[in-house]
Amino acid sequence: MLVAEVAIFAPLPRPLTYQIPDELLHTLKVGSLVYVFVGRSKKEGLVVGIQELEQPPTYLIKPIVGMIYDVPVTDSLLIELYHWIERYYFASFSDVLEAAIPQAIRKNTAIKLQSLLHAEENEGPDVKKFPKQYEAWCFLRQNPGMLKEEFLKKFSRNVFDALLKKHFLYEVFQRQERQVYAQFLPQVGMTEAVTLTEQQRAVCEIIGQNLEKGTFGVYLLHGVTGSGKTEVYIEMIQKIIHEGGSVLYLLPEVTLTAQTVKKLRQRFPNIPVHVWHSGLSEGERRDTWFQIMDHPGTLVVGARSAVFLPLQNLRLVIVDEEHERTYKQEENPRYHGRDVAVYRAKLAQATCILGSATPSLESYYNASKGKYTLVTLPQRVDHRTLPQVTIVDMCYEKGAVFSKILQDKMVERFERREQVMLFLNRRGFAPTVLCPSCDYVATCPHCSIPLTYHKSRQTLLCHFCGYEIAPTKVCPKCGAPEILYRGLGTQRVEEVVQKIFPQVRLARLDSDILQKKYAFIEVLEQFQKHELDLLIGTQMIAKGLDFPNVTLVGLINADGSLSQQDFRANERTFQLLVQVAGRSGRGDLPGEVVVQTRIPGNETLYFAKNTDYSAFFEKELTEREMFHYPPYRHMIALHISSRNASLAELWSQDFLKKTLQPSRDCFPPQTDIRGPVPSPVEKVQDRYRFVLYFLTPKVSRTVQTLRVLLANCTVPKEIALAWDIDAYDFS
Ligand code: ADP
Ligand code: ZN
């Protein structure tokens, strides 16, 4: 008897076995979605294995009820990937499935059918009696398969109804193949390929050899900003796409997808270029998913979750801006998109390119150890120079938003009709709302962080949980008639600019704008066409974007990330500065950068000013080694949370003393266990949080040990545990 192992879309510990009924024997495959009964309820599940039972079973095996689609939605390589994520990231299989196969696919919802019209091959309507109908019938004969919507723009509903009723036309329904971004980024003809520079050619040569061999290999492409990394990707795509190979192209932010998709559609007008990110509608997801599944030789540009798309004959995986933290998912399963992409490439025996101007310490370290191959583009295209960076000490600027030097340079640019970008890593208007009389600070009642004042919406907002209240005029604690709004957010910068430069056309781009679907594309297009002079944004637009007319970039406050108590603070600051600076001077005009800070002596700022990656890397690596931080060890965080603070704290300490410490020998040698300590943000959504850190040379053995230890100890139901493997930072 043939049976299927079915992973149910519900938190069950393992797949269940079902009989395959005769009528499904030929269509059911590993990767098919099916309906099955679990107890009395009908559930959806994924077939993860098929096997022949030698002996008839001694117990009843229920049959599979039916298939959700007649084709599989995933394949065995991807299922292997899901299992790897389950093991490596200490995740549950159902969480992995949830992340990997979106709701829109699981539930078979939102099929959009479109109607195509054809004229019947007959005499047609009487031309004298029904001239309009005759005209429409002739028109359809000349344009068979016309979209009904289009037809109805030319002819009336009455004409349509009459033709249909008299059998002069017929309708064919087919699944609508929506193409995401089609309406926003109309194709404007093919653009010519550029002539690669010497450096680009050398890099392509090296990676190209691996592509031809068709084996797994990871290349770390370290190219300074504006060195033309995208052209290297395009050249590599070109190499395989016409042979029916597929390409997965990952980007760290939704906002970066539009520019890249546009460029790729222009360069590959005959190849479908798909888009994938969290902003897609259910219908768009479904269409995209099946189009990809049906066609080897497709190109997908997407954010983190695109790593799970069912690309067939995958030959090339590109992870652009590989250092970005947005590749790390913050909910379960807490996978790292870049690392999953590398593993996927390994399973598919594909070539993987990790690109960045500021590689993560992990990847650069891997390259230095020979695990990845390092390829470099040390210069900008056309010998353009890297921008000149000025560091301004804000201690002498009397609390102003703009230093004199930045303001003067802005005036210059606006007079010369060049464009400016300003960055600030805080959205909202003012991040601190306080009373000058007592020590009151407006704080979220559910999370231990201050509320941010959003002027445009007139609310105080918690950036953790979304809690909001109306701002008060008097202090709620002491009744003093005055409240101060301190600190800087993007909205306030916008307001100040409008006051100083009332004529300047500007827009703000932060995560507020993502709430409106595709609004960001409009803003970026306007900026591209120079309908805007100034763009104010958060880290969302600090990397990747290419606007040749931008010659000045201002970083309003560089200190936010430097002053954080975190092992990655320097790395993050270095990356932010170099990336921000990288937006300037990308065209024929040289660029400049002004960095405002209150700690101008900081060494990281100087490495960044000189774009001296290797000096930064050497120094940072020494420090990481001293304290056993990544990349020397992997960091695993165990988050322990509960509404009851003392329960969480006591359990954490008990777990350390009674379970972890007595089993020290079961962990790989050189594993450090640190904590428990309160999390940097102690309370989120009314839950108190503690954390234990494991610094270990070997993830898989550590996770295995932890699984066993946890299975043998009780966790009260008021406590929630969350594992974060390769945690990005201490939060
Ligand atoms: P990076 O991703 O390395 O920051 P991009 O790939 O965005 O850089 O390239 C920067 C700019 O240089 C783009 O406008 C691109 O069109 C242009 N460019 C890249 N390679 C070449 C080349 N070989 N010849 C001319 N222009 C190029
Ligand atoms: Zn909150």
Under the banding of pLDDT at 50, 70 and 90, the label for residue 54 is: confident
Average pLDDT score over the chain: 88
**CA 627–ligand 2 middle distance (angstroms):** 33
Under the banding of pLDDT at 50, 70 and 90, the label for residue 100 is: very high
Q: Which burial class, exposed, middle or buried, applies to 482 when counting CB atoms under 10 A from its CB (0-12, 13-18, 19+)?
A: exposed
Q: How far apart are CA 289 and CA 178, in angstroms?
A: 11
The structure tokens listed for 527 are: 């900026």
For a pocket test of ligand 1, which of 381, 543, 586 has the largest count of ligand atoms closer than 8 A to its C-beta?
Answer: 381
For a pocket test of ligand 1, which of 224, 230, 235, 611 has the largest count of ligand atoms closer than 8 A to its C-beta?
Answer: 230
Q: Is 494 a residue whose pLDDT tops 60?
A: yes
Task: Give pLDDT tens digits for 550-578.
Answer: 999 999 888 766 666 688 888 988 998 88
- Core vs surface per residue 673-696: b (16+ CB within 10 A) or e: bebbebbeeebbeebbbbbbbbbb
Q: Is 240 a residue whose pLDDT tops 80?
A: yes
- DSSP-assigned letter for residue 327: G
pLDDT value of position 696: 96
Give CA separation, 224 vs 183, 221, 358, 447, 681, in Å.
Answer: 33, 10, 8, 40, 35
For residue 503, list its beta bridge partners: none
Q: Is 362 a residue whose pLDDT tops 90?
A: yes
Q: Is 114 a residue whose pLDDT tops 80?
A: no
The residue nearest atom 25 of ligand 1, judged by CA position, is: 194
Task: Give pLDDT tens digits for 276-312.
Answer: 988 888 888 888 999 998 888 899 999 999 999 999 9
Single-letter amino acid, residue 212: E
Q: How far apart are CA 66 and CA 46, in angstroms?
A: 12
Task: Give pLDDT tens digits for 303-356.
Answer: 999 999 999 999 999 999 999 999 999 999 999 999 999 999 999 999 999 999
Pocket of ligand 1 (CB under 6 A): 194-197, 200, 223, 225-231, 381, 546, 548, 586
pLDDT value of position 182: 67
Q: Is 376 a residue whose pLDDT tops 90?
A: yes
Q: How far apart are CA 17 and CA 256, in angstroms?
A: 43
Mean pLDDT of 675-698: 90
Determine if the peptide bond prior to 676 is cis (ω within 30°): yes
The structure tokens listed for 81 are: 């990937």
pLDDT value of position 430: 72
Mean pLDDT of 414-419: 94
Q: What is the bridge-based pairing of β-strands 113-119 and 66-67?
A: unpaired
pLDDT value of position 725: 96
pLDDT value of position 295: 86
Q: Which has the minimum average pLDDT: 481-490, 519-528, 544-553, 632-641?
A: 481-490
Q: Count Cα neighbours of 23 within 13 Å in the Cβ-side half-sphere.
A: 6
Q: Is 454 a residue whose pLDDT tops 90?
A: no
Give CA separation, 475 vs 452, 456, 471, in Å.
Answer: 16, 21, 10
**CA 200–ligand 1 middle distance (angstroms):** 10
Residues around ligand 2, an ion, CB closer than 5 A = 444, 446-447, 462, 464-465, 467
The structure tokens listed for 649 are: 């704290």
Q: How far apart are CA 669 and CA 696, in angstroms?
A: 8
Q: Is 645 a residue whose pLDDT tops 70?
A: yes
Residue written as tokens 């000096």? 615
Q: How far apart are CA 203 and CA 552, in angstroms?
A: 30
For a pocket test of ligand 1, which of 546, 579, 589, 611 has the largest count of ligand atoms closer than 8 A to its C-beta?
Answer: 546
pLDDT value of position 97: 95
Identify how many contiguous H helices and E strands the chain contains and give both numbers: 21, 30
pLDDT value of position 178: 63
pLDDT value of position 188: 58
